Structure 1
Amino acid sequence: MTSPTHGPGRATPDRADVIDKGLARVNVWGIRLIVGTIALYILGWIIGHTWVVWFPIALALVLSTLLAPPATFLRKRGFPSALAAVVVMLGFLGSIALTVYLLAPQVAGQSNDIADSAVTGVGEVRTWLQEGPLQISDGQITSAFETVQDELAARASDISAGVVTGITTITNILINLVLMLLLTFFFIKDGHRFLPWVSAIGGQRVGGHFVEVISRAWNTLGGFIRTQALVSFIDALFIGIGLVIIGVPLAIPLAILTFFAGFIPIVGAISAGAIAVLVALVTNGPTDALIVLVLIIAVQQIEGNLLSPWLQGKSMNLHAGIVLMSVTAGSTIFGITGAFLAVPVAAIVAEVFRYLNESVDREVAAAAPLQDSHGAEGPDGPAGANPALPDDVPHTRDRKTPAELRGEPDPNA
């Protein structure tokens, strides 16, 4: 007994064969998923245990995206690579030193007034505790201070250990800062030689893919830094204007602090805002401090939930939801550093996937079989109407029949 057919010479497959084929594909993709997950875990484990090396490199790459364009500009004007890098680095460090120099007199001139206001504020707080709704007696306040002093004395050893740990942390920060600056210098000095080297090492076929992916990742990282600088500037501008209107001292230094703190997600904004509220509290009183707190919360909420996701998603071609989720995941897994690097890493990964998708589309278009000349319908319409075919592949409508090649009239005409 012959099996039923589904077209000339084709047997209808049995249901068991179809299910077996489907399960085989599930098994294959399951194994691939497991192997990929293990590979990612091993990669993450290696990066986590060598993060002390990768951290200054990552920071240097981020800084290089800002300093590489002016170095390239000087190099195209005839400057040697080393001289262009030195000029750009000196200009960068000089701009920071100039900013500190211009702000130092203002900070020093108002520091004594702020200190006096702080002492007065502490006295007012003590008076409010005694005469306000809490009605705390002077003896209770003194007892509370004595309790705090005794607790501090009892934990003197822990505090000393914490000071040592803090000194170690500061030392590590300084070492990473020096490494970052040195690596930045080398990146902007010799970075233009990296892509040709990658192309030569990878060969004619693979090297081109590497160069394209690295170029896209570099442009994405630069877009992130420029966008973050714009967001930080907008935050600092509106907060600075608010502080000036309220009459808070050190409004300009606090605005500049807000700008630089904007590059450190979560902690930077909280720290800069807390300092601004504290200054307003000890100089202008609790009412103005509350107004400053509302102002900072409003600006940061607009920036964090609307402005930053929209600008970053637009500049890096990422959806705002992906930006928010990447920051959440990065901060949860790697803390502050992860929150700062999460968005550019997500954008770079997205660029890699886009390039792979484009490569797959090109391969599919190049390997697409030519439609037969009998007017068979394809997925994109009639034969010869497939726009995915490359220009160097002749379309079906341009191919002649055997009769036409012999000079005879087409019998199908």
Structure 2
Amino acid sequence: MTATLSSTRARAALRTTARASAELLLIFLMLAVTLWILGRMWSVVWPLVVGLLLTTLTWPPTRFLRRRGWKPALAASAVTVLFLLVALGVVALIAVPVASQSGELTDGVVEGIQKLREWAAGPPLNIGDAQINKAFDTAVSRAQDGLGSMVGAVVTGVSTVVNGLVTAVLALFLMFFFLKDGPRFLPWLAHQLPGRLATDVPAVAARGWDTLGAFVRSQAAVGLLDAVLIGLGLWAVGVPLVLPLAVLTFVTAFVPIIGALFAGLVAVLIALVSNGLTDALIVLAIIIVVQQLEGNVFQPMIQSRGLGLHAAVILLAVTLGGSLAGIVGSLLAVPIAALIAVVWNYVREQLREPSHPRTDESDAGAAVPS
């Protein structure tokens, strides 16, 4: 018996597909318009984002002081001043020496890539393909541009660029107000929204804040441990530029997976150029051991709850963020992906149909063996 295609069902399926496609197109259009608006407002959005990230780091000591009876304004002022002093100390003790060695760091990476090229062209590989040589040339160019811009942006951006200075000042003021009035924001927001939004939006915001805080604090702690351990290992081996490499390790820790690979590659290339192949292999072994400790010991101990994202999702998010917005996109990709996951999980919880318990008769019938 052969099955025939029902024209009625086919038309119904096509209508359903068309309706779903139109709804998806509307969603994508809304996202595109939202991104366009954010791009036009970036001078305001970026200080807001930086202020929120700084607040996640400084909220625990502020909460500690408030629980000890300090007034909100006094606690926020004390923590803000302490944070500013620590930041200025870091700039004076670390950023200035790193800035003076950033050019040497970039030249060392380029020279290391050239050595790898020469090694690949000789025995036993004897690679002489023009496309591979072109790929090495492209890698050298990108290393010069990318590493130089990253180190320059991290080290000297806030102190030398007017826009960076304005962003830092605005972010600092926003951090103070977030610390001072943050706990009153969600109740205020609930009173401003109508209907069910008064419940849903504050709930999602609270979950998003917890997720963002967990990510920033855990990544900062893990990055600091990585920087200290790898820095000590580089110092013990005798690799130059220990301080810039340690700072680079800490900064790139906020870009999961790709950041660790990038910082490790830079350290190995510097060791290869300055100390030779043996020390480069030792540095590679040190980095692998530290990364294994990070993945299997540091992360589970420091991060009380995960982001709920698969490693493949994190990798794709970082790649997409980097292609769309460069370094800033790579830094913000994982927090944004985590916040999207928070919203999706909440929506899924609200749309889930409640389970219908069976009646007593059905339970009794099910309990009787046949």
Place the TM-score, normalised by the shorter chain, in its bin. 0.5 to 0.7
Contact persistence 1:278–1:289 (CA under 8 A)? no
Which of 165, 169, 186 in structure 2 is aligned with 1:178?
A: 169
- Specify whether residues 334 and 104 from structure 1 end up closer, same or farther in structure 2 by C-alpha distance, changes over 3 A only: closer
SS at match of 1:316: coil
Q: Does 1:54 align with 2:45?
A: yes
**Correspondence for 2:70:** 79
* In 2: Cα distance, 1:233 partner to 1:206 partner: 40
Which gives a bigger RCO, structure 1 or 2 (Cα 8 Å, sep 6+)? 2
| Identical-residue share of aligned pairs (%) | 35
Quote the Cα distance in structure 1 between the aligned partners of 2:221 and 2:61: 19
Shift of the 89–18 alpha-carbon distance from structure 1 to 2, 3 Å rule, reads same
Provide the residue aligned with 2:325 in structure 1: 334
Letter in 2 for 1:357: R
Matched, 1:359 2:343: no
Describe the superposition over 1:300-347 as per-residue Cα deviations: whole angstroms up to 9, x where unpaired: 976999999999896211111111110111111111111000001001
CA-CA distance at 1:175 after TM superposition: 1.5
Flag the 1:48–1:97 CA change in 2: closer, same or farther, 3 A.
Answer: closer
Matches within 5 A, 1:37-48: 37-48=28-39
Q: 1:75 to 1:306 in 2, by over 3 A?
A: closer
Q: How much does 1:222 deviate?
A: 0.7
Where is the helix percentage greater, Structure 1 or Structure 2? 2
Gaps of 5+ in 2: 108-156
CA-based RMSD: 4.4
What amino acid is aligned across from residue 207 of structure 1 in structure 2?
Answer: A
Alignment partner of 2:54 out of 63, 69, 85: 63
Matched, 1:21 2:12: yes
2:308, 2:335 → 1: CA distance?
11
For 1:32, the equivalent position in structure 2 comes to: 23
Call closer, same or farther: CA 1:45–1:385 in 2, change over 3 Å.
farther
Paired with 1:27 and 1:295, the residues of 2 have a C-alpha distance of 55
Deviation at 1:32, TM superposition (A): 0.8
Aligned equivalents of 2:264 and 2:81: distance in 1? 27
Task: Check 1:371–1:64 CA distance in 2 against 1; reply closer, same or farther (3 A cut).
Answer: same
1:68 Cα deviation after fit: 1.7
CA distance in 2, matches of 1:176, 1:241: 34
User: 1:350 corresponds to which residue?
Assistant: 341
SS of equivalent to 1:328: helix
Q: How far did residue 247 of structure 1 move?
A: 3.1
Structure 2 residue 236 is the aligned partner of structure 1 residue 245? yes
CA contact (8 A) 1:70 1:88 kept: yes
Give the paired residue count: 308
Rg comparison, structure with higher value: 1
Q: Is the alpha carbon distance of 1:179 and 1:300 closer, same or farther for their aligned partners in structure 2, counting shifts above 3 Å? A: farther
**Which letter maps to 1:333?**
L
Which residue number corresponds to residue 96 of structure 1?
Answer: 87
Aligned to 1:255: 246
Query: Partners in 2 of 1:206 and 1:242 — Cα distance?
Result: 53
